[in-house]
Structure 1
């Protein structure tokens, strides 16, 4: 799944907006993001344009995990 987030500066606080795209619509999500960025570059009231993705078929939890118990990290010095 993909989500495009952006702010519209119509008010003093701005308005947060988002648009969802299915997992097989990455091309559409990228095109939509590019359209918003072009609007921003043209001076429209659009800012903080970002594209986020989440893999619904991910094997593990998102983020970093603890290393295995037998992992021995050593800092090497020159």
Structure 2
């Protein structure tokens, strides 16, 4: 899943907003972000336009954590 976050400033008050996109709709999320940035360039008071995602196939939990005991990755050097 993808989440797009942005802040809209009206009357000197910042209001946070968000919109979710399905895991298979990265292009939709990126297109929406570009629309927000175009509005920002046109003078609309938008800021902090960003995207976050969660990968359901990740090898471990989000954040800093020890890897799962069966995770066996090794860096090979020659």
Q: Could you tell me the TM-score, scaled by structure 1's length?
A: 0.75
Matched, 1:25 2:61: no
CA RMSD of aligned residues (A): 1.6
The equivalent residue for 1:10 is 10
Normalized per residue, which structure has more strand? 2
Which residues of structure 2 form unaligned runs of 5+? 68-78
1:17: Cα distance to partner?
Answer: 0.1
Which residues of structure 1 form unaligned runs of 5+? 68-78
Q: Which has the larger radius of gyration?
A: 1
- Number of residues of Structure 1 aligned to a counterpart in Structure 2: 67
1:10: Cα distance to partner?
Answer: 1.2
| 1:1-78 alignment runs, 5 A limit | 1-65=1-65
